[in-house]
Structure 1
Amino acid sequence: MDNAFLGPVAWLRHDRRAAFAAAWLLLLVAVALTAPLIAPYDPAEQDLGNILAGPSAEHWLGTDDLGRDYLSRLLFGGRVSLLASIIATGVGLLIGVPVGLISGFVGGVLDNILMRIVDTLLSFPAIVLAISVIAILGPGLTNAMIAVGIIFAPSFARLVRGQVLAVKGRLYVDAARTFGSAPHLTILRHVVPNSIQPVIVQTAFLMAVALLAEAALSFLGLGVQPPTPSWGEMLQGAARFISRAPLQVYPAGLAIAVTVLAFNLLGDSMRDALDPVAHSERRLLSRRRLRPE
């Protein structure tokens, strides 16, 4: 039985990639929600007499250059980084999906105008466009993630437009039009449900990209502003004192790497689950390769 026809629990049991990704992301969400309860210290509390200390019984991951507990900042930083991914991807969805739906369904001159705007945005290097938006809105987590969301919007728009163009010529859409269904009802009842699967997969992949973008912008000082912790901001501080406390680059770096890997594995697994034909072909090809001569 293919993953597309399994329940969520059976799907996770069947696909180890999805199980690992889901377990890590659920753990991250749990830590983000309970950070004030499980963090041993206030992440902004300074101990200037104990700066850049190594791991100890009091500070399991040591302290940073201002004597703040590194473990506490790592836990609160996960909350900020996860929130940043949600904001950026949400902005991209809110802008890109309606543009793609309207462009693909209406077509004509409006389609040409919207797609030329999308092509213009895609022509800019992503980091340059993000820095330009932040220069207008000002630094900060929300503004940085709005900038990243604007970068994501063209990808969602083009993906949705392609799906709508493939769906709107189907017989059930023509039948809805024939029976007098209003355009917006036709889109909501027939076009969106049959175009949404690739968007779900793309969302998982772009959550990973958003987390990396937030880390990069915070590393450059354009994202989260001190004393609020985020994994990118923590890497910036650790990089400045890497000769004195080389171990401090690893916790935040590993947290970013594992979370990005989890989002990508979940996206790969959902792509297989939502496309059972392609999954069956890949599985058959794998069996042929493993079959002894």
Structure 2
Amino acid sequence: MLTVALWPELFVTHDPTAVDSDSILQSASWEHPLGTDEAGADVLARLVHATQLEVVIAAGSVIIALVIGVPSGLLAGNSGKLIDGGISSGASAILAFPMVLFAILVVSSFGTTALTLVGIIGFVFAPRVFVLVRAQTKALKEREFVVAARVTGISPRRTMARHVLPNMAGPLFTLIPQLMAEALLIEAGLSFLGLGVQLPDSTWGTILESSKDYYVTSPGYAVAAGLTITIAAGLLMASGELAAESFNPLKKRRQK
């Protein structure tokens, strides 16, 4: 996916913005393997070039979630009931708030741009990261090596940075690709509702949204966009499962 995003020209030769009134909604052919859209543009070229924006949205939203969720999770997990309860209540409130309503409120204020989508999805994901980091912090801070670090006089901040945070890398690396997969699906859903990026920018979600009026006359158009989203999300989910297995200590013991 990253290779396609960085070098789309290696995979397609057509210009994704080129229109041809004589080639509107054509079926799959050697020249257009996935057919053409309502403007005569090559669907495969549009999907390949849209990968760049998809990677930006998926990766950017996860980065925002990590920037918010990791520090707040460490703080809550290592604090008393007052601070922990306050931050946890805020995270629960965000999780309970309807995402579509939140997206509508943000889009109405800041417009439908890729940056807006990154902010919306990242903010919604942050409580998920927070919950994981908080739980890991509470469990790890009672481990012998962390207790020993505190006894030797190492500051709480250094203890968190050197002993707690590195030992939750496994669960975090498992969560990250899963969140990226969900970001693709959320972006597609928001775009289908008209809350995605606007032309001339394109994402898989906006391409799927554009195809909704042609399900009967050109079903391959919608199928191509839908399968692209499904396959990409499935591969990211699978990579998350592989990460979980690779960090599984029981599996490592059996291999030894």
- Aligned residue among 30, 45, 59 for 1:72: 45
1:177-188 to 2 correspondence within 5 Å?
A: 177-188=150-161
Contact preservation (8 Å) 1:129, 1:151 = no
Matched ranges for 1:240-279 at <5 A: 240-277=213-250
Amino acid in the other structure paired with 2:112: P
Deviation string 1:245-277 (CA, Å, 9 cap, x unpaired) is: 111112111111111111111111221221132
Query: Contact between 2:73 and 2:134, CA under 8 Å: does it hold in 1?
Result: yes
Check whether the contact 1:44–1:228 (CA below 8 A) recurs between aligned residues. no
Tell me the equivalent position of 1:147: 120
1:96 alignment partner AA: G
| Matched residue SS, 1:49 | helix
Match of 1:170 among 139, 143, 151: 143
Distance 1:113 1:216 in 2: 32
| CA distance, structure 2, for counterparts of residue 253 and residue 97 of structure 1 | 33
Contact 1:43 1:229 (8 Å CA) reproduced: no
Please say if 1:40 is aligned against 2:4.
Answer: no
Matched residue, 2:59: 86
Retained in 1: the 8 A contact 2:103–2:195? Answer: no
> In the alignment, which residue of structure 2 is the partner of 1:212?
185
Letter in 2 for 1:276: P
Which residue of structure 1 lines up, in the alignment, with residue 176 of structure 2? 203
Counterpart of 1:236 (choices 179, 199, 209) is 209
Gaps of 5+ in 1: 1-27, 284-293
Question: 1:206 Cα deviation (Å)?
Answer: 0.9
Cα distance in structure 1, aligned partners of 2:253 and 2:194: 47
Q: Residues of 2 paired with 1:206 and 1:81: CA distance?
A: 13
Structure 2 residue 100 is matched with structure 1 residue 134: no
Please say if residues 177 and 240 of structure 2, whose CA atoms lie closer than 8 Å, have aligned partners that are also in contact.
yes
**Which protein, 1 or 2, shows the higher relative CO under an 8 Å CA cutoff with sep ≥ 6?**
1
Deviation at 1:80? 1.7
User: For residues 3-57 of structure 1, what are the alpha-carbon distances to aligned partners after superposition, in whole Å with 9 as ceiling and x for unaligned?
Assistant: xxxxxxxxxxxxxxxxxxxxxxxxx221111114543222111112321122233
SS of equivalent to 2:40? coil
Query: Structure 2: how far apart are the matches of 1:194 and 1:60?
Result: 47
The percent identity for this pair of structures is 35
**Unpaired runs of at least 5, structure 2:** none
Q: How far apart, in 2, do the equivalents of 1:247 and 1:178 lie?
A: 65
Residue 219 and residue 113 in structure 1: after superposition, are their counterparts in 2 closer, same or farther (change >3 A)?
same
Taking the aligned partners of 1:243 and 1:279, their CA distance within structure 2 comes to 52
1:72-99: CA deviation from partner (whole Å, max 9, x where unpaired): 1011122222221111111111111111
Aligned-pair RMSD on alpha carbons?
Answer: 1.9
Query: What secondary structure sits across from 2:7 in the alignment?
Result: helix
Amino acid at match of 1:199: L
Give the C-alpha shift of residue 231 in structure 1.
Answer: 0.9
- Does 2:133 match 1:160? yes
Contact 2:36 2:42 in 1 (8 A): yes
Tell me the equivalent position of 1:225: 198
Q: CA deviation at 1:102?
A: 0.7
Change (3 A) 1:57 1:265: closer
TM-score, normalisation: structure 1: 0.81
Aligned length: 255
Q: Deviations over 1:135-154 (max 9, x none)?
A: 33221111012101111000
Task: Give the TM-score normalised by the residue count of structure 2.
Answer: 0.92
Residue type matched to 1:226 in 2?
Answer: L
Distance 2:246 2:17 in 1: 43
Aligned equivalents of 2:114, 2:127: Cα separation in 1: 21
Is 1:100 the equivalent of 2:73?
Answer: yes
Contact 1:130–1:151 (CA under 8 A) maintained in structure 2: no
Partner of 1:117: 90
